[in-house]
Structure 1
Amino acid sequence: MKYVIILGDGMADEPIKELNNQTPLQYANKPTMDALAKLGEIGRVHTIPKGMAPGSDTANLAVLGYDPSLYYTGRSPLEAVSMGVELLDSDITFRCNLVTLSDEGEYKDKVILDHSADEISTEEARELIKAVNEHFRSKAIEFHPGISYRHLMVWHEGPDDFDLTPPHDILGKSIKDYLPKGSQSGTILNMMKESYDFLSVHPINIQRVKKGLRPANSIWIWGEGRRPRLPLFEEKYGLKGSVISAVDLIKGIGICAGLKSVDVEGATGNIHTNFEGKAMAAINELKNGQDFVYVHVEAPDECGHRNELENKVKSIELLDEKVVKVIVEELNLLGEDYSIMILPDHPTPLRLRTHTDDPVPYLIYRKNKEVLNLEQKYDEIFATSSKNCFPIGHELIEYFFKK
Structure 2
Amino acid sequence: MSQKFLFLLADGMGDWPIESLSGKTPLEVAKTPVMDRLAKEGVVGTCATIPETMPPGSDVANMALLGFNPETYHTGRGPIEAAAQGLELKEDDVVWRTNLVTIDNFGPDGIMRDYSGGHIHTETSRVLVNAVANACGSETFEFIPGVQYRHLLVQKGGASAPEAQFDIRPPHDITDQPIDRDYAVYAQSPRLLAYLNCAASVLAEHSDAGAVTNLWPWGQGKALRLPQFADLFGRRSAVISAVDLIKGLGRAAGMDVIDIPGATGLLDTNYQGKVDAAISFLNGGGDFVFVHLEGPDECGHGGQIEDKIESIARFDKLVAAPLSEAFPDAAVLVCCDHFTPIAVKTHTKDPVPFFLHAKGLPASGVSAFTERTAQETGLHIDKGYELLPYAFSQIG
Bin of the TM-score, shorter chain as denominator length? over 0.9
CA shift digits 1:221-256 (9 cap, x unpaired): 101011111111100011110000111111000011
Q: 1:51 aligns with which of 37, 50, 53?
A: 53
Deviation string for 1:144-164 (max 9, x for gaps)?
100000000001101222121
Deviations 1:250-285 (A, max 9, x none): 100001101000011110111110012111211111
CA contact (8 A) 1:276 1:326 kept: no
Question: Root-mean-square deviation (CA), in Å?
Answer: 1.5
Report the counterpart of residue 358 of structure 1 in structure 2: 350
Distance 1:394 1:287, change over 3 A: same
- Quick check: 2:36–2:367 contact (8 Å CA) kept in 1? yes
- What's 2:156 paired with? 156
Count of residue correspondences: 388
Aligned ranges 1:53-202 → 2 under 5 Å: 53-103=55-105, 107-158=107-158, 159=161, 160-179=164-183, 181=185, 185-202=189-206
Alpha-carbon distance in 1 for matches of 2:60, 2:196: 26
**What is the identity, as a one-letter code, of the residue corresponding to 1:311?**
D
Select which of 366, 383, 387 maps to 1:392. Answer: 383
Q: Deviations over 1:314-336 (max 9, x none)?
A: 1000100000001011113xxxx
CA contact (8 A) 1:162 1:183 kept: no
Partner Cα distance (1:147, 1:286) in 2: 27
2:259 corresponds, among 263, 286, 301, to: 263
User: d(CA) in 1 for partners of 2:389 and 2:257?
Assistant: 22
1:152 is aligned with what amino acid?
L
Q: Deviations over 1:154-181 (max 9, x none)?
A: 0110122212111111111111122262
Distance apart, 1:374 and its partner CA: 4.5
Gaps of 5+ in 1: 209-214
The AA in structure 2 aligned to 1:143 is F
In 2, are the aligned partners of 1:45 and 1:396 still within 8 Å (CA)? yes
Q: Secondary structure at the match of 1:5?
A: strand
Inter-partner Cα distance in structure 1 for 2:133 and 2:344: 33
Counterpart position of 1:340: 332
Q: Aligned to 1:139, what secondary structure does the other structure show?
A: coil
Residues 5-16 of structure 1 aligned to structure 2 (within 5 Å) = 5-16=7-18
Deviation at 1:182, TM superposition (A): 7.4
Question: Quick one: which amino acid aligns to residue 339 of structure 1?
Answer: A
Measure how far apart 1:84 and its partner are: 2.4
State whether residues 107 and 183 of structure 2, in contact with CA within 8 Å, keep that contact through their aligned partners in structure 1: no
* 1:30–1:124 CA distance, 2 compared to 1 (3 A): same
In the TM superposition, 1:233-252 aligns within 5 A as 233-252=229-248
Partner of 2:268: 272
Preserved contact between residue 324 and residue 330 of structure 2 (Cα < 8 Å):
no
TM-score normalised according to structure 1 size: 0.93
Cα distance in 2 for partners of 1:377, 1:193 equals 51
**Deviation sequence 1:189-229 (CA, Å, 0-9, x none):** 33223322331231013xx3xxxxxx111111101011111
CA distance in structure 1 between the aligned counterparts of 2:274 and 2:217, rounded to whole angstroms: 30
Distance in structure 2 (CA, Å) of the matches to 1:305 and 1:314? 15
- What does 1:304-315 correspond to in 2, within 5 Å? 304-315=300-311
| Structure 2 Cα separation of the partners of residues 401 and 134 of structure 1 | 49
Q: Distance in 1 between matches of 2:99 and 2:349?
A: 23
Query: What is the Cα deviation at residue 373 of structure 1?
Result: 4.8
SS in 1 for 2:9: strand
Partners of 1:151 and 1:58 lie apart in 2 by: 18
Aligned pair in 2 of structure 1 residues 354, 186: CA closer, same or farther (>3 Å)?
farther
Distance 2:340 2:236 in 1: 31
| Secondary structure of the corresponding residue to residue 312 of structure 2 | helix
Q: Is the 8 A contact 1:180 1:188 kept in 2?
A: no
Which string of whole-angstrom CA distances, capped at 9 and with x for unpartnered residues, describes residues 97-137 of structure 1? Answer: 0001125xx63212111100121000110011111111221
Cα distance in 2, alignment partners of residues 183 and 128 from structure 1: 24
> Are 2:30 and 2:313, in contact at CA under 8 Å, matched by a contact in 1?
yes
Q: Is the contact made by 2:43 and 2:363 (CA closer than 8 Å) also made in structure 1?
A: no
- Which deviates further from its counterpart, 184-193 or 39-48? 184-193
Tell me the distance in 2 between the aligned counterparts of 1:371 and 1:200: 60
Q: Note if 1:220 corresponds to 2:211.
A: no
- Once residues 9 and 298 of structure 2 are traced to their aligned partners in structure 1, the CA distance between those partners, rounded to angstroms, is 14
Identity %, equivalent residues: 41
1:6-60 per-residue CA deviation (whole Å, 9 max, x = no partner) reads 0101110100011111011111001110011110111000000111011011100
TM-score of the superposition, structure 2-length normalised? 0.95
Quote the residue 1:232 is aligned against. 228
